[in-house]
Amino acid sequence: MKKQILTRAGMLDLLEKLAGTPSESSHTLYLTPRLSSTELQNLIQELPAPPTVHEKLAEIATGSPNGAVVFWSNQAKCLVQPPFPVGEKILIPSLDVAPLRSLLARDYHIAVVLIRLGSYAIGVCRGEKLVTSKVGTGLVHGRHRQGGSSSHRFERHRDKQIEQFLIRVCGHAREQLEPYARALDYMVYGGARTTILFLQKYCPMLGKLEKPILPPLLDIPEPRQAVLETAISRVWSSTVYEWREED
């Protein structure tokens, strides 16, 4: 089994190749998110694959927050974890790329909020194009490593710095996101998980947007303009698992 990450363009190219392959003995399985284990396994067992492959397909699909799409034929055997939720559960007796291609072809409006203590990047993209953004830093000292009363004073001062930083980031989030509130299709957060949770606490406006939230990007470096642009590409990327004959 081979795993690869494909950009939006790369995934669309793969779908074009799949659409051009012979359709004899072919199946396409669209799996929506959060199916029960029993339902998922029953659907996957409809595919003409060995039991060990069925188990692996079920394992990967279960761990995919947006659902999965399986293309299975003599010429192509792969599972796709798409960047956006699969909308319909269906088993098709052919290689049918149209629903996934439609999902990737639409230029969604997506709010991207990246934050680590001391730096942030906020933007809105339409498709993969950034239409507005704000990137900046703020002073937040590292933790004090010594004990005593001076340490307590330092931590109180640091807590105040964090609070001021988060309030300022919230103001920038409001400036960047509120003009697009009605147009937004999704939101995605990135950075440090704890800092994201703190920001959501200090910035209730983010919750009031009431938009579906995509899986977070927790492994990004300190937010900068280039990091924001890379994050957008990642938001649109798909993960593909491919089985070869030797598998």
Q: What's the whole-number mean pLDDT along residues 126-148?
A: 78
Q: Is the pLDDT at 148 greater than 50, yes or no? A: no
**Does residue 139 register a pLDDT over 70?**
no
* 247 pLDDT above the threshold of 80: no
Same domain, 198 and 120: yes
**Residue range(s) defining the domain that contains residue 139:** 109-235
- Residues 113, 231: one domain? yes
Residue where one domain finishes, among candidates 106, 138, 158: 106
What's the confidence (pLDDT) of residue 244?
A: 83
Q: Is residue 101 domain-shared with residue 113, that is, in the same domain? A: no
Task: State the residue for tokens 């890379």.
Answer: 230
- Answer yes or no: do 56 and 140 share one domain: no
CATH number, domain with residue 151: 3.30.420.60
Residue 42 and residue 23 share a domain: yes
Residue 18 in this model has a pLDDT that exceeds 50: yes
- Where does a domain end: 106, 141, 163? 106
Look at the chain and report how many structural domains it folds into.
Answer: 2
117 and 93 housed in the same domain: no
User: What are the Cα distances from residue 10, in Å, to 16, 17, 85, 208, 237?
Assistant: 10, 11, 19, 35, 9
The whole-number pLDDT of residue 246 equals 59
Domain boundary among 62, 89, 106: 106
Phi and psi at residue 163, to the nearest 5°: -60, -45
Would the pLDDT of 102 be above 60? yes
pTM of the model: 0.89
Mean pLDDT to the nearest integer, 77-103: 96
Instruction: For 73-99, give one letter per residue: b (16+ CB within 10 A) or e.
Output: beebbbbbbbbbbbeeeeeeeebbbeb
- Give me the pLDDT at residue 64, please: 95
To the nearest whole number, what is the mean pLDDT of the chain? 92
